[in-house]
Amino acid sequence: MRIDAGMEQMTDMFVFETTSLLEQLEQILMKTEKENTFEDEDINEIFRIMHTIKGSSAMMGLENMSHLAHSVEDLFYIIREDRDVVKDTAKLYDLVFTASDLLRAEIDLINEDVPPTDFSEVMSNIRAYAQTLKGGDGDKETSKADGQGFRGPASGPSGMTTLRIRFEPGTAMIGLRATVLINSVADRCISINTVPVEFDSEESQRQMESDGLIISFAADDPDAVLSILSEGTAVASCEELNEKHPKTSAQSGGASKALTTVRVMFEPGCKMENLRALMVINNIRDDCKEIYYSPENIEEDQSSANVIRTDGFIIRYSSDLPDEEILRQIGETPSVKSVDTVTAEKRTETAAAESTAADKRHRTEHKQSLVSVNLAKLDQLLNMMGEIVIAEAMVTANPDLKGLKLDNFQKAARQLRKLNSEMQDIVMSIRMVPISGAFNKMTRIVRDMKVKLGKEAELVFEGEDTEVDKSVIDNLNDPLMHMVRNSMDHGIEDWQEERVQAGKPPVGKIVLSASSSSGEVVISVSDDGKGMDPQKLLAKAEANGILTKPRSEYTDKEAFNLIMLPGFSTNEQVTEFSGRGVGMDVVKQSIEKLGGTVSVDSKKGKGTTFTIKIPLSLSIVDGMEVSVGRSIFTIPINYIKESFKLREGQLITDTEGKEMIMIRGECFPLIRLSRLYELDGGYEDLTEGIIILVEADGRSACLFADELIGEQQVVIKPFSQLLISCGVKQNGMAGCSILGDGSITIIMDISSILADN
């Protein structure tokens, strides 16, 4: 797909925004499908999302995406008008999910040089479906022709009820009462217009006194709205106007005579204001009858960007849609900072729309308090923070200072240290994102599998607010997906009868939970399905020849963990989702790449639980520095159980010369670091050096080093490709780090050392 020249810089923004919109869309769909109802809010939101995608992809020159989004938008336009037209909800969800998937796939292709995908088939499906909705809709005129888009509500007033309300004569504060009245019904109405448009001015109050308040609304239950209105305080009468009151359309009619003028200001420093302005125009063009803007030549004239930057972008338009709808559309265009109406008789938003307006205001405020940042910049920031931590140590522990008594310096240094550690916390916290994003993606997977496998299961989240480093989350999606698939496919019983017989509720349950404790995040995926049979697993593993010791020596727990070995698949049948012999071993690998561990536990007939433990952050660890000869190594502190000097009689040497150390009646193998890493110059005499007891993944061993140097936070720096190709990872080294004095330490990979010895 080719992006129009000049638009490349906006591609990132477009991809980011569209992806998050699609994600949002999916969440709404999942939610509504689960609750089996469409709230007005949801429909409007879907409509809005599709509208935005339509606009922005048109701006990027991605016609196919724009059209597809348009067709979905049209579909939801019909639904927004009358929710009851939707009969075949399953079909609706399928269509929208398909569209969303296609859009997403298209975005992935955005930088590839491939022709735009042809969406005409899906689009014609959607149109056909829209047609059936309209067919069911009978005489309601909603559209002129397919693909032409639909007109605003004013031109096709389907189900609009128009009322004239008269207040009791002599009512004080009539404007306020009108506001209260409208607010009381606003949430029951799909749309609501009033004459006069605003209630605060004296003129409008006089108008209400003489002509009454005219309300035109569309609602699912007009009668209920009617009764609320007629029972409102100080309402004298409430008559339904059969004939459309000429003034009802005053808002739009009036607007078309006197064009509405708005000034759009963009976020400072957002660049390419002229193109952004064009985006605004594209966004609202479809909904406007007339549209003029200044500066005019925004597409070609780069200098117009400067004008827009300083004076704002002026749009004059008339539209059938209410002003607030247009303003909202403008306001939602990326990088728009503010939209103001600048007509002489400044239009305030109608009280009727106040609730939505307040909602919108709320939303914009919310938006403005969030910034999206390129992850690379965050990585840079973190690296820089690491440098500062090192630089601080270089200054405060400078060898030149040795033996000097510098009270003031020490004081200042302490202050610096404190500020740095606070800053480090903040930098780390910036990178933290709630895990719910990763969890939410699983809903979709469960949904698809439910349909394909014909199983019933619900997905429950626990602790989805738990925050994890962004880079961890990014690497968590695949493992989570494999585990959820596994639970769905192998865990949950095939037939509901099986579940009922076992005394379980017919609908299966998969729980995704997350919690954090002492620098680790614990994530578990558990199902209440049929569980695993250790004997069956062992038999299978034996048949596949992956057992490493006699079958009888395996504990149940070890047997369960067999499923994470490569080349193990318990399902005889290969399904689309899992059971290809890859899967769980991939999970194990990717989690281990993150420095985490996976374990499985299961009870036959009760269910299976996968538990993942990963470090909160990948980049900074508390480490204990130990010296061996001239080298310095760092052992991550969370692996260290204890350290001690060897006492007489603790050392045992077996017949093969293997050394072991006896601690409180338990025997641990001894690993001499100088031999492990083939280093010269370390202590040979065990009593001279120090013994460190480490534990990882249920294995323990004693390490022998020369000396403990001290505890320090270290920033993990990955090894260069050259060193990785030399196999440093296989030799028990996880990465390196720079110490306060600028020297380099190597961070030991305790779990791999323990696994190999």
Partner 1 sequence: MEDNFASKGGEVLTFIVDGVLYGIEIKYVNEIIGVEQITTVPKVPEHIKGVINIRGKIVPIISVRKRFGKEEAAFDERTCIIVLEIGDNQVGIIVDRVREVVIARPSDICATPSQSGVNQSRYIKNIIEDKDGIKLLLNCEKLIFDETM
Which residues here bind partner 1, judged by CB under 8 A?
Answer: 383, 386-387, 390, 630-631, 677-679, 717, 719-723, 725-728, 731, 733, 736, 738, 742-746
For partner 1, the closer of residues 269 and 727 by Cβ is 727
Minimum Å gap between C-beta 618 and partner 1 is: 16
Minimum Å gap between C-beta 422 and partner 1 is: 21
For partner 1, the closer of residues 602 and 634 by Cβ is 634
- Report the DSSP pairing between strands 744-748 and 631-636: parallel
For partner 1, the closer of residues 541 and 738 by Cβ is 738
For partner 1, the closer of residues 360 and 729 by Cβ is 729
DSSP letter for each residue of 685-751: STTTSEEEEEEETTEEEEEEESEEEEEEEEE-BPPPHHHHHTTTTTTTEEEEEE-TTS-EEEEE-HH
Which residue has tokens 């270290």? 714
For partner 1, the closer of residues 10 and 734 by Cβ is 734
Distances (CA, A) of 604 to 15, 541, 727: 46, 18, 41
| Cis? peptide before 322, omega within 30° of 0 | no
One-letter-per-residue 3-state SS of 255-288: HHHCCEEEEEEECCCCCCHHHHHHHHHHHHHCCE
Minimum Å gap between C-beta 500 and partner 1 is: 58
For partner 1, the closer of residues 105 and 744 by Cβ is 744
Which residue has tokens 């508390």? 622
Phi and psi at residue 398, to the nearest 5°: -65, 135
Contact status, residue 244 vs residue 220, Cβ threshold 8 Å: no
Tell me the residue ranges of DSSP E strands in 133-234. Answer: 160-167, 189-195, 213-219
For partner 1, the closer of residues 349 and 749 by Cβ is 749
Minimum Å gap between C-beta 730 and partner 1 is: 9
For partner 1, the closer of residues 288 and 728 by Cβ is 728
362 alpha carbon, distance to own chain's centre: 20
For partner 1, the closer of residues 519 and 742 by Cβ is 742
Minimum Å gap between C-beta 673 and partner 1 is: 9
H/E segment holding residue 88? none
Q: Which long-range contacts (CB under 8 A, 24 or more apart) does 683-689 make?
A: 686/646, 686/651, 687/645, 687/646
Contact status, residue 596 vs residue 606, Cβ threshold 8 Å: no
Among candidate residues 581, 685, 709, 698, the one with its CA nearest the CA of residue 637: 709
Minimum Å gap between C-beta 672 and partner 1 is: 13
Q: Give every CB contact of residue 690 below 8 A, 6+ residues apart in sequence.
A: 626, 643, 644, 645, 704, 705, 706, 707, 708
H/E segment holding residue 397? none
For partner 1, the closer of residues 1 and 753 by Cβ is 753
- Report the DSSP pairing between strands 288-294 and 313-319: antiparallel
CA 71 to CA 67: how far, in whole Å? Answer: 6
For partner 1, the closer of residues 350 and 745 by Cβ is 745
For partner 1, the closer of residues 567 and 742 by Cβ is 742
Amino acid present at 626: V
Minimum Å gap between C-beta 742 and partner 1 is: 6
Report residue 349 as tokens: 């938003």
Minimum Å gap between C-beta 396 and partner 1 is: 17
CA 726 to CA 729: how far, in whole Å? Answer: 9
CA 77 to CA 141: how far, in whole Å? Answer: 12
For partner 1, the closer of residues 227 and 725 by Cβ is 725
For partner 1, the closer of residues 384 and 574 by Cβ is 384
Minimum Å gap between C-beta 633 and partner 1 is: 9
Beta bridge partners of 659: 653
Q: Which of left, alpha, beta for 496 (phi over 0: left; psi -120 to 50: alpha)?
A: alpha
Exposed, middle or buried by CB within 10 Å (0-12, 13-18, 19+), for 708?
A: middle
Amino acid present at 182: I
For partner 1, the closer of residues 454 and 727 by Cβ is 727
Minimum Å gap between C-beta 721 and partner 1 is: 5
For partner 1, the closer of residues 59 and 736 by Cβ is 736
Minimum Å gap between C-beta 629 and partner 1 is: 9
Among candidate residues 633, 664, 594, the one with its CA nearest the CA of residue 736: 633
H/E segment holding residue 331? helix 323-332
Minimum Å gap between C-beta 704 and partner 1 is: 15
DSSP H helices in 8-88: 8-35, 40-59, 63-81
For partner 1, the closer of residues 646 and 754 by Cβ is 754
In the chain, the N- to C-terminal Cα span, in Å, equals 53
Distances (CA, A) of 100 to 26, 69, 563: 8, 9, 34
Phi and psi at residue 330, to the nearest 5°: -65, -45
For partner 1, the closer of residues 526 and 745 by Cβ is 745
CA 209 to CA 205: how far, in whole Å? Answer: 6
What order do you get walking across the sheet with 520-527 strand by strand?
457-462, 508-517, 520-527, 607-615, 597-603
